[in-house]
Amino acid sequence: MLYFFIIFGKKKMNYNISQLSKISDTNKITLRSWEDRYDFLIAERTKTNIRIYTKEDLICAINTKALLSEKIKISSISKKSHADIQNLVDDKFKDKTNSNYQIYIARILRSALNYDRDLFDSTIYVGFSKFGLSDFYLNIMYPALQKIGFIWSVKSNIAEHEVFVGGLLESKINDITREVLENKMSKDIWLLFIMAPYIFLNRDSNHFISLFETTKMVSKSEDNINDNWSI
């Protein structure tokens, strides 16, 4: 499998408050409140006073959302640096007793934004081992892919994320398929098709087909698997 790592360091990726809100799943009112009350995630401003967030701000917002799901108060999180917040997420991930899906989603999104193959691989490996194929795809990979789709829609003229994540997904699909075949198939294999459409291109726009547009493909694939591969 050929991995794709195309990094364009000169391209600065910025997000407005609506985009950051959607990707991080954090209400815009909440984001403004963090800035006003806690001096946290303070955005740069354009000449017309529009908030502009960096990629680092987006990752911080994603990590913060995950930590809030751990019942850590924003008053505590806001006192930490971006790096400390990220380290805290990673500490939660390393805790073998922690089964919070949001921690895994945060790491997958960070790996996509930073083109970090090692982070992606380690998160996927631990996730599969802890949750199993079905639970991992439905509760972690599926929502993570939806959020990655938001990122792609924001920066539709930048293909690096699609190439990078598409390469990783294709590799994982190949790895899991090989393992399933060696173990004489699994009833959960149809779930691979939730991810598989992301490695196909929309030939009209040269971008990955959206999750919504692949619903019929997934349904047909599931029927085919049930008819021909069930055990």
Closest CA to 192 of 150, 143, 141, 151: 141
Enclosing H/E stretch for 157 = none
146 within 8 A of 211, measured Cβ to Cβ? yes
Give the integer Cα–Cα distance in Å for 91 and 6: 29
Range of weakest confidence among 74-78, 178-182, 204-208, 220-224: 204-208
Give the integer Cα–Cα distance in Å for 105 and 139: 9
Structure tokens, 198: 């992301």
Tell me the CB-side half-sphere exposure of residue 168, using CA atoms within 13 A: 24
Predicted confidence band of residue 102 (pLDDT cuts 50, 70, 90)? very high
pTM value is 0.72
Domain residue spans of the chain: 14-229
167 within 8 A of 3, measured Cβ to Cβ? yes
Predicted pLDDT at 32: 96
Rounded to an integer, the average pLDDT of 79-108 is: 97
Closest CA to 31 of 16, 46, 14: 16
**C-beta neighbour count of 134 within 10 angstroms:** 13
Give the integer Cα–Cα distance in Å for 70 and 181: 37
Structure tokens, 12: 């600065």
Q: What is the pLDDT of residues 78-87, one digit of tens each?
A: 999 999 999 9
Helix ranges (H only) for 115-141 are 117-131, 133-136
Predicted pLDDT at 229: 47
Closest CA to 169 of 189, 145, 140: 145
Could you tell me whether strands 44-45 and 201-202 are parallel, antiparallel, or unpaired per DSSP bridges? unpaired
Distance of CA 43 to the CA centre of its chain: 22
Enclosing H/E stretch for 41 = none
How far separated are the first and last CA of the chain, in Å rounded?
Answer: 29
179 within 8 A of 133, measured Cβ to Cβ? no
Q: What is the pLDDT of residues 121-166, one digit of tens each?
A: 889 889 888 988 778 878 998 888 888 877 777 764 455 665 666 6
Closest CA to 13 of 82, 149, 113: 113
